[in-house]
Each structure stands twice: as structure tokens, then as C-alpha cells.
Amino acid sequence: MKSVFVVGASGATGKLLVADLLAREFEVTVVVRSSSSLRGTFEGRSNYHEVTGSITEISDDELRPLLKGCDAVLSCLGHNLTFKGLFGKPRRLVADTVEKVCRVVEALTPDRKIKVILMNTTGNANRDIPERPPLSQRIVVSILRVLLPPHVDNEQAADILRTRIGRNHALIEWAVVRPDGLTDETEVSAYTLHPSPIRNAIFDAGQTSRINVANFMANLAADPTLWDTWKGQMPVIYNKA
């Protein structure tokens, strides 16, 4: 049975991801605050392990046993859409967590490569290709970098994987999943995957259901062939029209 560690598990997409992974019989470990709405949701599942705490406050030494033996780390971490969540601390919530996870994996020196699967956004361009978003999108994104700290955080988190870890790391492989406008649906539906956005993420955004994002992330963790297709890349996911 494969073992995974999920951060951002109490968010709208994270809950769906945890449910999907548990249904596939993954051993799932999460870290949630004592006040989290996730508490008790999966109580009684033998393959579900809940640690009370905050990923931002857990030390490397405390994180090490949680990651030991894991096959993948999946992150749906993001900022709450409140004034404090958007402009308060920690401003590098996602980037610092990705950096910490990678640092601890390197310290563990596992005998196989560990997958890191990060949920991100189509507003963040893949500068490895490089992508050339429409001018109108580039202008707005430049403004967001100044006015909206979570956007910079998303960019920095992906950049840690792109530039520090890279595509030939001895211990870590990664993929950055980029949904467009997130919607809430109850069932997985057909969706399409692309190396780069095919729409203007600001002025012509598509739709991606959270449950489809969770399904794709779980598929990346479970399917070696799919993983070989998208590792080291930043796939974009849209609901199929």
C-alpha cells in the first residue's frame, strides 16, 4: 500500500483529495489544526492518520517521521480568501512549506524518488518552457505581484521545484498542477490536460472543478505512466466542455 502526506487537507480541494486517496487505499497522513473542519471527517478509517498541528509551525525534526516511508507529498495549501489570509502572515505559506518538505526529504535520503505534487494556478506561467501569456494577462499579473501576496507565494513555490529541485534531482520528482477558475461539483467529470494554458487566465478563464483537480492529483500519485508523462512539468487542467 502506498503512503502519502497531504498538506492543505482541510481546504475545499484538499478534503476531496484526501477522500479520493483513501478510496484508493493509500495510507494518508495529514496535519490539521485542532479547530479544522476536517477533524473527525474520516475517523475510523484504518488508512487515515491525523496529526494535530500547523504545517507552518512543525519543525524539520517533527516533520521527518511523518515523511519517512512516504511515496508522495501532495499540497493543496493556499491562503484563505479573507483580508488576513490575503495580506497577513505567513506570506510565504506555500513556498515555505514546499521548501521545508524538500529539505526534510533530502535529509531522509530515501531509497527511491519521492513525488511532490503541488496545486497552483494558471495565473502562474511556466518559465521553463517559457510560456508567453497574452499581454493583458501579463499586465494584470504584474499588478498582482505588487498587490496580492498569495500570487507571489504561488510563483515562488513553483520556482523552488523548477529551479532548486529541477528535473534531475536524485531524491525528488515533482509536478505542479494548474487549474483555472475553480468550481464546486459533486462528481468527477471529463477534463482535459495541457502543457500550457489555452485561455487567457484573467479575461477568458475556463473552469476546473475542485473534484477534478483532486482526481488528477490522485491519479498522478497512483499511475506511473501518467506520472512519467507530467513529471517535471506544470500541467493545466480544464473541465471538458
Q: Looking at residue 69, which CATH number applies to its domain?
A: 3.40.50.720
Instruction: Render each residue's pLDDT in the chain as its tens digit; 241 residues.
Output: 699 999 999 899 999 999 999 999 999 999 988 767 787 788 788 999 999 888 989 999 999 999 999 999 999 997 555 435 445 567 688 999 999 999 999 999 999 999 999 999 999 999 999 888 888 988 887 888 776 777 889 999 999 999 999 999 999 999 999 999 999 999 999 999 999 999 998 888 999 999 999 999 999 999 999 999 999 999 999 999 8
Contacts of 28 (CB under 8 A, 6+ apart): 3, 4, 6, 18, 21, 22, 47, 48, 49
Domain that holds residue 149: 3-239
Query: What is the pTM (predicted TM-score) of this model?
Result: 0.93
SS (H, E, C) 102-127: HHHHHHHCCCCCEEEEEECCCCCCCC
The total number of structural domains in the chain stands at 1
Quickly tell me which residue has 505559506 as its cell: 93
Q: Is-cis flag, bond preceding 130, omega within 30?
A: yes
| Joined grid coordinates for residue 216 | 488528477
CA distances in angstroms from 152 to 86, 95, 109, 138, listed in the order given? 11, 9, 30, 14
CA distances in angstroms from 15 to 56, 107, 240, listed in the order given? 19, 29, 23
Q: What is the pLDDT at residue 83?
A: 39
DSSP state of 44: T
CA distances in angstroms from 162 to 34, 84, 173, 219, listed in the order given? 33, 29, 10, 21
The H or E element spanning position 162 is none
